[in-house]
A and B are shown apart, each in its own frame.
Chain A
């Protein structure tokens, strides 16, 4: 099936550092979505990517749609304590209408 592999599984960084995480698949995706989930809450949509090679920013967050259409990257610059949470990538399953498949997530911890 169209599985999404996220790496790293977890990261522990110091406040102010930049962060990079990625999502890969053996299948092609035509859309990539990045979400952040805080404990006990639902995922919040951060960035949506629709074109191969596209680079999109949302404040300190930047995401890229890989040119092979099989991967995507999320970067966070100058991390702050409130960046703590789980970051998920997601994409629509081919032929699944608007059904999304999610990666297992990257747990980010920021040390003040």
Chain B
């Protein structure tokens, strides 16, 4: 079974630009969560989507948004990029149900200059 895939793996943007990251979950997994990982703050939850609906949201500004498509694929968007947005963005999928087990993709390394 293929794992979680994320594209692109690496991205360099300049301040003020916007960026869209993509995530394809494990086949059969309908829940997708996004996390931001930085050396200082560690892994922080951004949001979770299930059935094309945002179910949970972390403490991030409105510049961070996401969506999920009917095939469970998800995208996250960051507008008006700031230097502090440089991070590894991780997507994780979970099988629907009571399982808390989340499976992560390799991440997208975003560098904002």
| Contact in complex: B42, A41 (CB < 8 Å) | no
Q: Is A85 an interface residue (CB 8 A)?
A: no
A69 shortest CB reach to chain B, Å: 14
Known: A41-B107, A43-B90. A97 touches B48 (CB 8 A): yes
| Contact in complex: A99, B56 (CB < 8 Å) | yes
Q: What is the interface size of chain A, counting residues whose CB is below 8 A from a CB of the partner?
A: 24
Pick out which of these stretches binds chain A: B11-19, B69-77, B79-87, B97-105.
B97-105
Q: Which residues of B contact A88 (CB under 8 A)?
A: 43
Within 8 A of B (CB), among A52-108: 88, 90-92, 96-105
Q: Which residues of B contact A31 (CB under 8 A)?
A: 100
Summed over the interface, the residue pairs from A and B with CB atoms below 8 Å come to a total of 59
Chain A positions near chain B (C-beta within 8 angstroms): 31, 33, 35, 40-45, 48, 88, 90-92, 96-105
A6 shortest CB reach to chain B, Å: 10
Chain B positions near chain A (C-beta within 8 angstroms): 4, 6, 31, 33, 42-43, 45, 48, 55-56, 58, 90, 92, 94, 100-107, 109
| Contact in complex: A40, B100 (CB < 8 Å) | no
Give Cα A31–Cα B106 distance, bound, in whole angstroms: 24
Give Cα A53–Cα B58 distance, bound, in whole angstroms: 31
- From A40, A42, A45, A91, residue with most partner B Cβ within 10 Å: A42
**17 chain-A/chain-B pairs, Cβ below 8 angstroms:** A31-B100, A33-B102, A35-B104, A40-B107, A41-B106, A42-B6, A42-B92, A42-B106, A43-B90, A45-B102, A90-B43, A96-B56, A98-B33, A98-B94, A99-B45, A100-B33, A101-B45
Q: Which residues of A contact B104 (CB under 8 A)?
A: 35, 42-45
| Contact in complex: B56, A97 (CB < 8 Å) | yes
Give Cα A40–Cα B58 distance, bound, in whole angstroms: 23
Partner of B42, one of A40, A42, A96, A104: A104
Partner of B100, one of A35, A48, A104, A105: A48
B2 shortest CB reach to chain A, Å: 14
- From B31, B100, B101, B102, residue with most partner A Cβ within 10 Å: B100
| Contact in complex: A33, B100 (CB < 8 Å) | yes
